[in-house]
Structure 1
Amino acid sequence: MPRDLTSLHTDLPVWAAPMAGGAGSPDLVEAAARAGGLGFLAGGYRTPADLAAQITRVRANGAVFGVNLFTPNPVPVAPDAYRTYARVLQREADRFHLILPAGNVTEDDDAWEEKVALLLRTPVPLVSFTFGLPHSDTVRALQNVGSLVAQTVTTPAEALAAAETGADLLIVQAAAAGGHSATLTPSRPLAPTPLPDLVSDVRHSVPLPVIAAGGIATPADTAAALRAGADAVMVGTVLLRTHESGASAPHKAALADPAYTDTTLTRAFTGRPARALRNRFTDTYEQAAPLGYPAVHHLTSPLRKAATAANDTELIHLWAGTGYRQARDEPAAKTLTRLAAGR
């Protein structure tokens, strides 16, 4: 069975990160492969049938690719806090004639078993996990059908735990990353360790290949991560405005809008820490938002979808890493090859 990165046959040390919710489109995955790198289909929030269709499409086009899944690691929400937050948000929902699910706490596992079964039936080159650690039996089963297995980690301690599951490689994510943090302990503050330092710390703790992620936006960022010991880097935010990105039009526009001047870590949208452009929603509701994933995600989802349809960027989860100003309206291959120029 394959046990190292050479089996992936990638030439470009800059990969496209999985971006759940639509931004990580099959077009983007295929563009990354054509550029000599690798992209990930984001299994999170997608039905098993939809994910299967995307796998079939990308495989048919000959791309080297991975699939990312959210490993169940629930943070149960306090019922009283959930109901209070729902009441607070209802005034925003009223503008769109929505009734938020205040009495319906959804604590699902994102069809975990079905998606793992899909990947065992139709193996892909690389499977990565985020939010939690899969059981070692799951890791071994995927390896037995020919998949490399990667675990996303945010600390050396998490890297050690990932190695114990039998993972083949580590995706090391710094707090500068856009979107959800992969932290295994979302109730604890994220350490603001610079990515090169985090890569070095992990490499000194665990003898596994490392893919560095989080805040990479320039060729110099790529070079620093590779010097620190990363085998490749993975980028997401800088690809959001590319031609192949599936990000919404309001999201793409906000990334270039000078009115948005900063990012912030917030749990207001999903009950789990994630980095986004600071907007009215994050400023108004961060303190009121309870920890609670996936319950808070399901609570706010109708509101976020309605705001996106209305082009109201003050209520949208504008996921963005700290290097968001480097995102350009251009082909994804141009972004990826530019970032690789600093190696």
Structure 2
Amino acid sequence: MLKRSYLFYIILLITLGIGCAKNNDVKNDNTNTEKNQDNPVLARILKEGFSRNDIVEMKDRYVVQGDIIFYKQEPGQKNGPTTEQARSPYLVAPAYRNINVYLNAGSFSSVNLNSIVDNVIASYNAVGSGIHLNRVYAAGQANIEIVQNSSLQLGICGQAGFPFSNGQPFNNVFISEYTLNYYHLTSTAQLTLLVAHELGHCLGLRHTNWQSQGEGSAIPIPSTPGTDGASVMNGATCGNNWGGFSYYDQIALKALYPVTLGGPDHLNVNESLQTNQLLRSQDGRFILVMQGDGNLVIYYYNVALWSSNTTTGVPGVAVNQGDGNFVVYQNGVARWSSNTTTGVPGIVVMQNDGNLVVYQNGVARWSSNTAGY
């Protein structure tokens, strides 16, 4: 059941392990799969749209579609997994986007991934997203360890998982040397695709062909199609040859992990946004931009969440006035306002939860009601 991943988050997201199983040689044995949806991890998996028939329970984890790992308790957590976030799978948080990758070469006896890992890292970095991968040579320095694991069921080439709820990337890529040798899937092109695919899961990418895989739902990635035959993240890819990231693979990575282009996250009193100026949330996911068409818009990556509905073709300016009102002007005419004129100077903040808020003396007086991301 070769699996690829859907280029998605997040987002969630972000919510993004491989599926490199060898076509239909693997059948899921669900006889021991826990079906109690009250279990928070199982509930999360089902909420993501995966079929119950694709879930296999193991001692410390669930394995979905043969290659995607959901730990019952995330590493470092003492009180079980965090499941209250609305968006799943989770994405890699800004604090962890400089990611160290370690190849445990000593765990392999016949497969050499040394140059392959270097090439995959270089390919990810060449995309130009906000994610940067580094090769390290000590396990203690690693965020992600690539390690041989021949205990995987025959037919499963590799496994990985989605980012953890604390924003760290999934910490392991498991490669089955036994399966690779059994099916003679050891060419450089085949192994490169396998490693790239599994690392994609660690960064939060679902199988691009999730719909044809029978998954009930997924969080789509903006500006990418429902299908992409060239995607590295399609399921059923074990044994396929690496041809580089597809155009939409690259769009997906840059949509999920945009390069922070700067911009403050707030406007102080009497400050303004001129045409094409913006506020950016501290985590880089949300921007408020004063567009050239006169519209003031909040974007989540490149999805519009809210606007002032002032598209007239006339450039405007958004002003945080000294009387506490936040106003969009075009040619000196007020076209929209937050209606927060109290005489108390305020601050306008683009928050990490997606909400744009006008605060006066620490009290929220107006918001865009776009929180929850």
Which protein shows a greater Rg?
Answer: 2
Q: Which structure has more RCO (C-alpha within 8 Å, separation ≥ 6)?
A: 1
| Structure with the higher helix share, 1 or 2 | 1
Q: Same fold (TM over 0.5)?
A: no
| Structure with the higher strand share, 1 or 2 | 2
TM-score of the two chains, using structure 1 as the length reference? 0.28
